Structure 1
Amino acid sequence: MKRLFRIHVNLLVLFMIPGLLMASPGKDWTVAKVKIEGLETVSVKMAKAVLSVRPANIRPWVKDQVFAQSLVDADIKNLTQLMEQEGYFESQIDFTLNENPDREKVSVIYKIVEGPPILVDSMDMEGLDGLSENLREKIIEFTPLEKGERLRTEPYGQAKDKIIDLLNTHGYPHAAVTGSIMVNKQEKTAAVTLKVDPKGYYLFGPASVAGLEKTNPNVILSRVTFEEGKMYTRKELEETQREIFSLGFLSKVGVKTLETKEQVESAAPPTPENPGSLPLEITGEYKKFKSVRFGIGYGTEEKLRLSAGWRHRHFTSQATQLDFSVKTSEILQSAQAELWQPYFFSKKQEFKNTLGAKREDEISYIDLSFFNEASVTRKLSRYWSGTIGHQLEMHRPEEYSLDLQGDETEAENNYLVSSLALGFERDSRPKVLIPRSGTFLSTRYWYGSSSLGSEIDYYKLSVEGSILIPLGQRFVLASRAGFAGIETLEDTETVPLFMRLFSGGTHSVRGYEYQHLGPVNDDGEYMGGQSRWEGSIELRFPIYKKITGVAFTDCGSVLEDPFSFDGSSFRYTAGPGIRYESPVGALSLDVGYQLNPQDDYADTYRVHFSVGQAF
């Protein structure tokens, strides 16, 4: 009997071995393809996003994934969770493996039967009684699910976040939202409830600074954007953090409330009729105050760009910043020292002084200049600021390639330019690396006169603005426009070449060479002008990861007469472009096509390329 049993077991094992061998791919087999079949309502893209098994990549440098049964087991679990989150609690998930022994590859096919969905039977919102009618209406608009709709947890979670954000921006810093989903699998229905707990209405209290003993507290408090006694909003708190971080000497910035847990959980929380006061404490961590930097880049116009600098971010307890920098390229060589005082006699004022020398090798002249620019900027409102200053420049033209009628300046002579400067600026763009929204407006006025010691009498006005409009989550429409005009005064007959206005190039009107748009003399040399108009519209959109595409149209006009306008003189260009955040810096490539060329014999397109550090 025992012998017969052994024979039976041996035969059974013998027949199972081939099956076991066939059921599991080889140890080092890699994944070829991954497919999902059977989905009708839930998107395949959503299902693939939760998979651990990764198909072979078309890029040859990306190594194929080695197959493991544990990855498939994890996918079954992840897919089950996804189906439940999408309202399918009775879905059936299976898989099959298609093997290719010759190539030692395996393809995985997941087969999903969705089954009947769970439908919302009721959607209730609780805890709104103590809120204003306006807030209640806005919260009700966030109702995530309607009766008869398929139960989905994503909009349910998003609604909780939206309600908390709304309350945080309307005086409720500690608001919380909880909820429950009661599923009846037999009836295929669910009862959904959201419970709102505002916890208390607060106004901004006094702000203080802790743990930053090296810095005068007034410097940090000068960047606080909220006012004591105003309604609490988290947006103001976040804006304050960004403003303090922009001072440059902190690596981390924190703003926390000084309330106790007992006050937050009070049985009688503050109300809009009897609001609480929320004191805030600002903390942070210092960066290294001293740093050295080097930069390298290349551009179509400047060719090789090199730069170096040394910075002290916290030269005094007033957070005075001292910066030395040198730069060189084919069209500019400069060295300068800059002192910036972020707190200057008032929390709304800052002072800046820049001293330096530069040599500009432009298409119509070469100019060596020494300069000092001092200015005081005062914050006028949340977005507006005003600046007043003085500029002292000593120009020494090294070479003029053309003569202008009435221009008495000569090469190798020194010319002193002393002028007052006044400006106003409005900037509502978020303080982030790449903003997607906001507007910018700047106007500047310069006045140079012999009464100020200037050898060139003139006045100059420039106005420029830009706007960023987000179009959904992926696209941004960027537009800019600008005007500049200059005119001589008193005994100066002609604006010298080194002060005239030029246009064309990567940062001006793409499609034209650098400073090649505008008036020319009889020899075809570009003279610049006394009026300049420029504009641009650009659509930005993502392509792949850090690669972004643009489609643009630019326009520009340079006129000989000061403060003049001629619609027929405008030149228009259009073209595509690409941007990439590379390890060595931003890379940009634009191809501009001239739609109405000013010169019938020149190239009607221009490639603009730049990579690395820009000046």
Structure 2
Amino acid sequence: MSRSALLRRLAPMWVLVVVLLATVTGCQTQRIVCSPTDYTGCVVDEVRVTGNKAVPDSEFTSRMATAATGGSFEGVPLIGAIDTLTVQYERFDRFVLDRDLERVARIYRAKGYYDAVVRAGRVRRIDEHKPGNPDMSNTRLLVEIVVEEGEPVRVEKVNVSYQDQLRVDDPLLPLALLRARSVLGKDDIFTEEAYEAARNSIARTLTDRGYAYATVQPSANIDIKNRKATVTYTVALGPKCTFGKVSIVGLGGLPEWQVRPALGIEENEPYSTDTLENAQVALAELGVFGSISVEPVLDRNAQPLATKVPIMVRVQVAPLGTVRLGGGIELGDQVAARGIAGWQHRNATGALDRFSIDGRVRALAYPWRISTIGSTEGRVEFVPEFGVRVQYTLPFPGDPRAQLFAQSSVSYGIKQNHDPPDVLAEGQPVPVEILLEHSQGYQRKFFFSRLLLSLSHNLSFSNPFNLYFEESAASRILISYIDVYGQLDLRKNDANKYDRVRPTKGVMISTDVQVAGFIFGGDADDVRLKPEMRWYASLAKGFVLAGRVAMGFLYTNGYGFTLDDNLETAPLLCPGQEDPNVRDACRQQQQSPTVSKDVAILTKRGFFSGGPTSNRGYGFNEISPQRVVDDNGIKLLDPESVGGRTLWEASIEFRFPIRGSWTGTTFIDASDVTRGFGELRIDHPHISTGFGVNYETPVGPLRLDLGVRVPYLQVIGVSEVENCTNDTTGPEWNCPDYIVDEGEATDIFGLPMALSIAIGNAF
């Protein structure tokens, strides 16, 4: 046998030996060699900072070389091998600790605490040991750093001086610089961060006003004895400039006649850094570049300085054709396994036009949701769903910030906006539909993409069935409507850059106006209005207070009588439900088909609340007027939301960092949906509160929220809303009215709460 063949045969045995040794040693700690005199080389189990009030622990621990060991399974049989093989133990070194103390003192000086005293309080063993025992193998240390902060240095005065004379044609410049320097104000703590931020703010103000060569030289006179600081920023203006020639490099095969107008930079216009940054944002929104650089070409040594500044744009083209494949498990208001596949090209015909086609398949466990997975009450149906969507977008020739778009889709699955029951009773049908949708229109971005206006015409055709294409008594619906949408987005992140995904400050205001039917045809005639505002305030780095307010108004013409007429339930109930012939005969009586069509339109056009992006104490669409009899005349054990005419929602949440990519939220949500147009009920706030944890991913935070409905604050003064339907904890089915204002919300383990999982912030 050759040597190589022998090694191949022995390789599995060596792997087994290594695993067994790791498992055995997992029951013991790694061998540690440390000095019994000064603890050099011993494992650091914990580093503790005391006396610090102005500066949080994280400011120190992230910069210190002396760190705590992060193993979690040491000493645990079998899985202790994980630490044995993976954990790098942190060792104590007094020289390293001395340098760390200097780092901490330097951090305090940067924060304005020049009198701060930092010392090592003590280094002591925290493992179990007997005095005088020479065995140091299991030694674990606590390193304690004691801080005496003292009083901070505060700003006494901030001056701005000029090396060259102010221009008479810019009389508002001193006022603009006064606002810019306010980043560092009188009596503020003098921190290096604010000192530098004020310099950058002044420099940015100058370059935004056309002074392309402007420089700002900061200086600070610090009186440590009296704890006062006088700050001076010396400004060299230089000439006022305009934009010169714009050169673009790296386009490859992309059309320059589309890319150049997107920049929004015209030769001989006033120079502005803000214009350059917005040009970079506009190029990024085209979605075809992997890297973008928009920079001025400044020759500071030229005499005289050129007042016409050339601009160099360098881009790198990203892959234009992409394929998407994916799948996963969906847990939330629905439980499903899903798969997606798609293809898109970002320059389909050479005009920066985008074509995409996407397909999805899903296997839905109906009516399970995350709070009822595995429930043996009632029955479970596995519903197959599929859908295909085709989308085309064409930047308007010569104006790529304007776009023409068209989108079509076809899908089969659970009815849109359907509120699934908690329990699916025997004989109760599962409502599905074939849904055809088409949208085409025009949209334009203004003010450097901060303002979006859109006009579109939309068609939606629904053909309802019961599961497995069994005929349903529900009506086919065609809705045709014009949609006018406007959005002003001024949200920014901590770096003061516009950011829609992770905002920390600013506001976003939007309004959606829809007109359905009338001259546009279809089964619904109405006007639908939904304004919304979101705001964000940064309290400290990583700490954000955010809020949202939304309202909705639906004016209906020719439908909606089921919300108005207080229909009696009895005429809509059909006996002999197990016999389709008897049931169909029943459906022809009285007004049952008319009622079904009215409800079908309401579920498409009405307002709902509840779910991960609105009121998180409720499941999807659970807040709404609800019906107690389905389209087939069958009693519903869990009322079904049908939609309302008036909506209001309000939320406030506090976002804070936890560790690394993990963040947390605490929130309060409130909302209500009513039958009448303009009917606002202040005594039905449906208040819920709770907390959530988020994990940052490349596409946004993966979010898990737990919302709890507050007793007596769903309907003011009522501990628990009574339910007229047949429920295991409620009365027998006794619903005289077809529509009820309140249904039964989702519970978890019998508690009034809801759990939701989603991608992206709630707002």
Q: TM-score, normalised by structure 2?
A: 0.64
Note if 1:591 corresponds to 2:707: yes
Q: CA deviation at 1:153?
A: 4.5
Q: CA deviation at 1:77?
A: 4.6
- Counterpart of 2:64 in structure 1 is 51
Distance in 2 (CA, whole Å) between partners of 1:126 and 1:505 is: 57
Superposed, which structure 2 residues align to 1:242-261 within 5 Å? Answer: 242-259=281-298, 261=299
**Which of the numbers 607, 621, 634 marks the counterpart of 1:515?**
621
**Which of the numbers 466, 469, 476 marks the counterpart of 2:533?**
466
When residues 87 and 195 of structure 1 are mapped into structure 2, their CA distance, relative to the original with a 3 A threshold, is: farther
Contact 2:244–2:267 (Cα < 8 Å) also in 1: yes
When residues 580 and 158 of structure 1 are mapped into structure 2, their CA distance, relative to the original with a 3 A threshold, is: same
- Counterpart of 2:459 in structure 1 is 392
Q: CA deviation at 1:346?
A: 3.8
Contact 1:517–1:558 (Cα < 8 Å) also in 2: no
Q: Deviations over 1:207-233 (max 9, x none)?
A: 453321322224333433566655443
Q: Deviations over 1:163-208 (max 9, x none)?
A: 2233233333343223456899999999865432233333445645
Q: CA deviation at 1:304?
A: 2.3
Distance in 1 (CA, whole Å) between partners of 2:233 and 2:401 is: 44
Distance in 2 (CA, whole Å) between partners of 1:125 and 1:157 is: 14
SS across alignment from 2:99:
helix
SS across alignment from 1:358:
strand
When residues 296 and 311 of structure 1 are mapped into structure 2, their CA distance, relative to the original with a 3 A threshold, is: farther
The residue identity in structure 1 corresponding to 2:406 is N
Q: Deviations over 1:93-150 (max 9, x none)?
A: 678654573632344455789999999999865436534332453466456788xx99
Distance in 2 (CA, whole Å) between partners of 1:369 and 1:82 is: 61
- Counterpart of 1:71 in structure 2 is 96
Note if 1:371 corresponds to 2:466: no
Distance in 2 (CA, whole Å) between partners of 1:510 and 1:187 is: 53
- Counterpart of 2:737 in structure 1 is none
- Counterpart of 1:608 in structure 2 is 755
Distance in 2 (CA, whole Å) between partners of 1:363 and 1:45 is: 45
Q: CA deviation at 1:310?
A: 2.1
- Counterpart of 1:548 in structure 2 is 664
- Counterpart of 2:734 in structure 1 is none
Contact 1:305–1:327 (Cα < 8 Å) also in 2: no
When residues 510 and 240 of structure 1 are mapped into structure 2, their CA distance, relative to the original with a 3 A threshold, is: same
Distance in 2 (CA, whole Å) between partners of 1:221 and 1:439 is: 29
Distance in 2 (CA, whole Å) between partners of 1:614 and 1:50 is: 30
Distance in 1 (CA, whole Å) between partners of 2:293 and 2:544 is: 32
The residue identity in structure 2 corresponding to 1:357 is V
When residues 135 and 515 of structure 1 are mapped into structure 2, their CA distance, relative to the original with a 3 A threshold, is: closer
**Residues paired across the two proteins, number:** 572
Note if 1:286 corresponds to 2:317: yes
SS across alignment from 2:262:
coil
Distance in 2 (CA, whole Å) between partners of 1:489 and 1:370 is: 23
Contact 1:501–1:558 (Cα < 8 Å) also in 2: no
Contact 2:392–2:407 (Cα < 8 Å) also in 1: yes
When residues 32 and 522 of structure 1 are mapped into structure 2, their CA distance, relative to the original with a 3 A threshold, is: closer
When residues 419 and 162 of structure 1 are mapped into structure 2, their CA distance, relative to the original with a 3 A threshold, is: closer
Distance in 2 (CA, whole Å) between partners of 1:508 and 1:93 is: 50
Contact 2:323–2:341 (Cα < 8 Å) also in 1: yes
**Which of the numbers 204, 228, 238 marks the counterpart of 2:277?**
238
The residue identity in structure 1 corresponding to 2:622 is H
- Counterpart of 2:738 in structure 1 is none
When residues 170 and 425 of structure 1 are mapped into structure 2, their CA distance, relative to the original with a 3 A threshold, is: same
Q: CA deviation at 1:30?
A: 0.5
Q: Deviations over 1:564-611 (max 9, x none)?
A: 424368442221131312669612213141622594243573313215
- Counterpart of 1:503 in structure 2 is 608
SS across alignment from 2:198:
helix
Contact 2:479–2:516 (Cα < 8 Å) also in 1: no
Distance in 2 (CA, whole Å) between partners of 1:52 and 1:334 is: 54
When residues 577 and 232 of structure 1 are mapped into structure 2, their CA distance, relative to the original with a 3 A threshold, is: farther
- Counterpart of 1:303 in structure 2 is 335
When residues 311 and 183 of structure 1 are mapped into structure 2, their CA distance, relative to the original with a 3 A threshold, is: same
Distance in 2 (CA, whole Å) between partners of 1:244 and 1:349 is: 13
The residue identity in structure 2 corresponding to 1:283 is R
Q: Deviations over 1:406-437 (max 9, x none)?
A: xxx97587655444444444333434422232
Note if 1:164 corresponds to 2:203: yes
When residues 109 and 209 of structure 1 are mapped into structure 2, their CA distance, relative to the original with a 3 A threshold, is: same
Contact 2:439–2:458 (Cα < 8 Å) also in 1: yes
Distance in 1 (CA, whole Å) between partners of 2:615 and 2:158 is: 56
Distance in 2 (CA, whole Å) between partners of 1:176 and 1:607 is: 56
Q: CA deviation at 1:89?
A: 9.3
Q: CA deviation at 1:354?
A: 0.9
Distance in 2 (CA, whole Å) between partners of 1:159 and 1:422 is: 42
Superposed, which structure 2 residues align to 1:176-325 within 5 Å? Answer: 176-180=215-219, 194-205=233-244, 207-224=246-263, 231-259=270-298, 261=299, 264-266=300-302, 276-293=307-324, 294-304=326-336, 306=338, 307-325=340-358
More displaced 10-residue stretch of structure 1: 301-310 or 280-289? 301-310
**Which of the numbers 683, 687, 709 marks the counterpart of 1:573?**
687
The residue identity in structure 1 corresponding to 2:544 is F
Q: CA deviation at 1:357?
A: 0.5
Contact 2:291–2:317 (Cα < 8 Å) also in 1: yes
**Which of the numbers 481, 499, 502 marks the counterpart of 1:434?**
502
SS across alignment from 1:497:
helix
Contact 2:461–2:476 (Cα < 8 Å) also in 1: yes
**Which of the numbers 377, 386, 404 marks the counterpart of 1:351?**
404
The residue identity in structure 2 corresponding to 1:334 is G
Q: CA deviation at 1:356?
A: 1.3
Distance in 1 (CA, whole Å) between partners of 2:761 and 2:212 is: 42
Q: Deviations over 1:298-337 (max 9, x none)?
A: 2321222523322222223211112222234538642211
Distance in 1 (CA, whole Å) between partners of 2:674 and 2:224 is: 74
- Counterpart of 2:380 in structure 1 is none
- Counterpart of 2:579 in structure 1 is none
SS across alignment from 2:278:
helix
Contact 2:646–2:680 (Cα < 8 Å) also in 1: no
Contact 2:623–2:641 (Cα < 8 Å) also in 1: no
SS across alignment from 1:52:
coil
Distance in 2 (CA, whole Å) between partners of 1:432 and 1:118 is: 37
More displaced 10-residue stretch of structure 1: 338-347 or 90-99? 90-99
Contact 2:648–2:673 (Cα < 8 Å) also in 1: yes
Distance in 2 (CA, whole Å) between partners of 1:349 and 1:469 is: 28
The residue identity in structure 2 corresponding to 1:515 is N
Q: Deviations over 1:1-35 (max 9, x none)?
A: xxxxxxxxxxxxxxxxxxx96544364x2013445
Contact 2:250–2:317 (Cα < 8 Å) also in 1: no
Structure 2 gap ranges (5+): 1-33, 74-82, 128-135, 167-172, 367-384, 421-430, 492-497, 562-593, 630-635, 724-743
Q: CA deviation at 1:55?
A: 3.2
The residue identity in structure 1 corresponding to 2:263 is V
Distance in 2 (CA, whole Å) between partners of 1:446 and 1:124 is: 57
Distance in 1 (CA, whole Å) between partners of 2:551 and 2:116 is: 62
Superposed, which structure 2 residues align to 1:475-494 within 5 Å? Answer: 475-485=544-554, 487-488=556-557
Q: TM-score, normalised by structure 1?
A: 0.77
SS across alignment from 1:65:
coil
- Counterpart of 1:11 in structure 2 is none
- Counterpart of 1:105 in structure 2 is 140
Q: Deviations over 1:373-393 (max 9, x none)?
A: 211123465544433333333
When residues 369 and 212 of structure 1 are mapped into structure 2, their CA distance, relative to the original with a 3 A threshold, is: same
SS across alignment from 1:159:
helix
